[in-house]
Structure 1
Amino acid sequence: MRVLIAEADALARRVLETALTQWGHEVAGCADGVAALQLLLGATPFDYALLDWSLAELDGPKICRAVRKQSAVQTYLLLLCKPDADQVPLAALDAGADDALLKPVDADQLQFRLHAGQKVLELRRELASAQETLRVKTLQDPVTGLWNREALTDSMDRELDRARREGAPLGFVLLDVDDFRLVNDTLGRRAGDGALRQVGQRLRRSLRPYDVLGRYGGDQFLAILPGCDEPLATALAERLRTSVSAQPIALDEGTIRITLSAGIAAAGGMQERRPADALACAAEAALYRAKQPGQHSLAVATKGAWLNIST
């Protein structure tokens, strides 16, 4: 583990540094509370910290409180207490420490606490990983692996707010698989899911890394395009449609060709606050018009009909 030792007494600090180094830990040391807090909040994180209660300028409990205010810092904190009424181990826990140890430090006790702390850190990381996995799954479409409708709604809010702050354009492209019902009816739903999965993969490869793509519902996909005005969004929409239609899609049930229709909405210079899904609604209306004259077509939303757009 990477361990910080913040101990005012130079000799005690040296003894602790020597012991922990011999036990295989990477050790850094300091003599005052301000330096300890700076190190703990620095760019290179520590797994574990031994903090003297009576550090100068900023004592151990205050350091614990300051560190716990930073949710990104997950360092295991152990306070070193003197056996007197002012330095009660229970008060250390109330201050945000994970553990407390009385001075003078017993080597066996310290080694036990380090092992216990390491186990706790491992459990915390496993829990954080599981929580992140669960979070992603709740926002991920199970068929395509792309973002689902809920995640797209969050992205709409976020990107529209960013566009307002920066005065930048924002484009939406809503894509619909033409005659998708025929795929399900002739080859089955398993084939339909496989087709949607491959369509999503082709669309994703055709977008920029910072564009957002998700399954909007059924056989529809929504691409959110930061920095794209109407001409750029239209060009990207055409590229997306071509990426799917250019080559047939091979499935276990057979080989099929798929085409897409697209509705485009783009806005820029947005000052008036409107609902984030207004742009998506405009793209839906454009898509409806695109599918009227026939399949595999494209339409652009009426300019200025859904947001306050500078011209």
Structure 2
Amino acid sequence: MKVLVADDEPVNRRLLEILLSKWGYEVTVATDGEEAWRHLQSPSHPRIAILDWMMPGMDGIEVCRRIREDKSRGPVYLLLLTAKQATEDANGRYESVADDYLPKPYSAHELKARLRAARRILELETQLLEANDAIQSETTRDTLTGLWNHSSILEILHREIHRARRHGTSLTVLMADINDLKQINHQHGHLVGDAIMREVARRMRSSIRAYDSLGRYSGGQFVIVSPDCDRSGAVSQAQRIQSAVSQETFRTFKGDFSVTVSMGITVGCSSHQAHELISAADAALTEAKKAGPNQIELAFK
């Protein structure tokens, strides 16, 4: 684990560097607060920072304060070192910005124990963040395809409608349906159908723009929310998706399958509501499926 040591006293700095290296830490040193702050802004910044409280220019408490105000970085455990006679003052000031403080002079045993506690706290914080991410993923993502789930794609649609109203831009909704999926499920089993849906999702995801949103709406139906996209752009997008899906056969444990998608498109304006756009795209999709597989229908609203 990376540890930053910031101390303007060369002897103290070198002693800490020797101890930490001996204990297996990867040590970065700074001679003052400004240099420490630069190290902590790095994308691969140290997870633990040992900061002398009294340093010229930017002191240790100011470095701590800046770290706490910067919400863009991962957690950093901040340990302040302070002269023994200043302990009382430091104890009143460090609590709002630092995680712990250690009065000088300190023993190597005590420092090692504090660092061990810091590592354990960081490990718990990492586990908590991972658990939160997992919960967030479970509530917003479709478990089969990894795409946005039904409620999430509708929430995204609502947000994009409001954005389109503010900026006076167009908003396109495309709805896609895997042709003959029910027949595949009936003849070859749902495991094959699930494998095909996952691969369709992957191919569709690779063919849309970075700022488009793709979600599984229901069964083999998918919704793409495409901001700043007019009718001609929407048709080109739909053709690109169909090509991505159909250009190669789908290989499964039950054999190879040729798969296509039908698509319905609607282009909204600032007066449209989410349910109107979904309904129009769904109606266009129905007409596309009536015309045969791998067709595109544009709704005129």
TM-score (norm. length: structure 1): 0.77
Match of 2:200 in 1: 199
1:137-176 alignment, distance < 5 Å: 137-157=138-158, 159=160, 169-176=170-177
The Cα of 1:2 is off from its aligned counterpart by: 2.9
Q: Give the Å deviation of 1:156.
A: 3.1
Contact 2:5–2:16 (CA<8 Å) still a contact in 1?
A: yes
Change (3 A) 1:201 1:54: closer
Identity of aligned residues (%): 34
1:100 deviates by 1.6
2:288 to 283, 287, 290: 290
Q: Matched residues in 1 for 2:80 and 2:276: separation? A: 54
* Structure that is richer in helix per residue: 2
Question: Given that residues 171 and 229 in structure 2 are in contact (C-alpha distance below 8 angstroms), is that contact kept between their aligned partners in structure 1?
Answer: yes
1:263 deviation in Å?
Answer: 0.8
Q: CA deviation at 1:176?
A: 1.5
- Distance across 1 between alignment mates of 2:138 and 2:273: 26
| Change in 2 beyond 3 A, CA 1:274/1:86 | farther
The 2-side partners of 1:98 and 1:204 are apart by 43
Question: In 2, Cα distance between the equivalents of 1:8 and 1:192?
Answer: 65
C-alpha distance after superposition, 1:13-61 (max 9, x if no partner): 34334443555532221334x5544543455522211122334455434
Shift of 1:255: 5.1
8 Å CA contact retained: 1:263, 1:284: yes
The answer to whether the 8 A contact 1:81-1:87 is kept is no
In the aligned structure 1, how far is the partner of 2:249 from the partner of 2:38?
Answer: 58
Which residue pairs with 2:262 in the alignment?
261
Which deviates more, 243-252 or 119-128? 243-252
Looking at structure 2, the residues matched to 36 and 243 of structure 1 have their Cα atoms a distance apart, in angstroms, of 50
Size of the aligned set, in residue pairs, is 299
Q: Return 5+ residue gaps in structure 2 as ranges.
A: none
- Tell me how far 1:104 sits from its aligned partner: 1.4
Residue deviations 1:86-112 (CA, integer Å, cap 9, x gap):
636754662232222111132232233
Letter in 2 for 1:286: A
Match of 2:245 in 1: 244
Matched, 1:113 2:114: yes
Aligned to 2:297: 299
Aligned 1:1-311 pairs, distance under 5 A? 1-21=1-21, 23=23, 24-32=25-33, 34-71=34-71, 72-84=73-85, 87=88, 91=92, 94-157=95-158, 159=160, 169-246=170-247, 248-253=249-254, 256-266=257-267, 272=270, 275=273, 279-302=277-300, 305=301
> Displacement, 1:113?
2.2
CA pair 275-57 structure 1, distance change in 2 beyond 3 A: farther
Change (3 A) 1:100 1:202: same
SS in 2 for 1:87: helix
Tell me: CA distance 1:105–1:206, structure 2 relative to 1, closer, same or farther (3 Å): same
CA shift in 2, pair 1:143/1:42, >3 Å: closer
Given that 1:89 and 1:101 are in contact with CA atoms closer than 8 Å, whether structure 2 keeps it comes out as no
**RMSD after superposition:** 3.4
Rounded to whole Å, the distance in 2 between the matches of 1:252 and 1:14 is 62
TM normalised by structure 2 equals 0.79
2:176 partner letter: L
- C-alpha distance in 1 between matches for 2:45 and 2:185: 52
SS at match of 1:228: coil
For 1:63 and 1:28, locate their aligned partners in 2 and report how far apart those are by CA, in whole Å: 14
Is this contact kept in 2: 1:41–1:73, CA < 8 A? Answer: no
Preserved CA contact (<8 Å) 2:13 2:29: no
Q: What residue ranges of structure 1 are gaps of 5+ in the alignment? A: 306-311
Distance 2:203 2:195 in 1: 13
Q: Report if aligned partners of 1:79, 1:92 keep a CA contact under 8 Å in 2.
A: no
